[in-house]
């Protein structure tokens, strides 16, 4: 199909995607809401800390401005990338599908590969990969809903 399109139109518009910057901002911020719940002690926080060998004290030593600032920047990059991947899609159900496929098909598979070589636990893989899948699925819904 793509080869037929290229034969009929040898100069296709590659970047014909309009981005809704408000949707991208909300999608990036959604990762904090999801992460706050996902990694809370009531959900996976205690297991995540145990699997990483973290303590309450060791977590307090990090530079929170740097960590949260860069996490937001990375979330924003992920939102832009997902929006570009989704193209003009504006159905939330399809946005959820594209987000899930990006999370499961790309992120989880690569995280899994890293975890295998780093000898990290399967439990930690499930926690972190699961977060990525859920976060990207929600991002896809937000981005599609506001196209």
> What pLDDT, on the 0 to 100 scale, is given for residue 88?
84
Q: Per the structure, how many domains does the chain have?
A: 1
Is residue 1 situated within a structural domain?
no
Mark out the alpha helices in the chain (DSSP H runs): 2-8, 21-38, 45-52, 56-60, 64-86, 92-101, 109-118, 122-145
CB 137 within 8 A of CB 92: no
Is residue 40 situated within a structural domain?
yes
Quote the pTM value: 0.86
Cα 19 to chain centroid distance, Å, stands at 17
pLDDT tens digits along 112-141 = 999 999 999 999 999 999 999 999 999 999
Range of the domain at 109: 20-145
pLDDT tens digits along 32-86 = 999 999 999 999 999 999 999 999 999 989 899 999 999 999 999 999 999 999 9
Q: What average pLDDT does this structure show over 5-13?
A: 49
Is residue 14 situated within a structural domain?
no
């Amino acid at each position: 199909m793509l080869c037929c399109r290229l034969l009929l139109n040898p100069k296709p518009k590659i970047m014909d995607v309009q981005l809704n910057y408000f949707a991208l901002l909300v999608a990036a911020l959604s990762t904090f809401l999801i992460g706050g719940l996902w990694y809370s002690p009531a959900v996976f926080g205690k297991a995540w800390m145990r699997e990483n060998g973290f303590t309450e004290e060791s977590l307090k030593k990090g530079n929170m401005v740097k960590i949260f600032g860069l996490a937001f920047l990375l979330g924003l990059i992920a939102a832009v990338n997902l929006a570009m991947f989704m193209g003009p899609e504006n159905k939330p159900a399809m946005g959820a599908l594209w987000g899930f496929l990006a999370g499961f098909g790309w992120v989880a598979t690569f995280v899994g590969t890293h975890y295998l070589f780093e000898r990290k636990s399967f439990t930690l893989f499930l926690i972190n990969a699961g977060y990525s899948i859920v976060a990207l699925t929600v991002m896809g819904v937000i981005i599609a809903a506001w196209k």
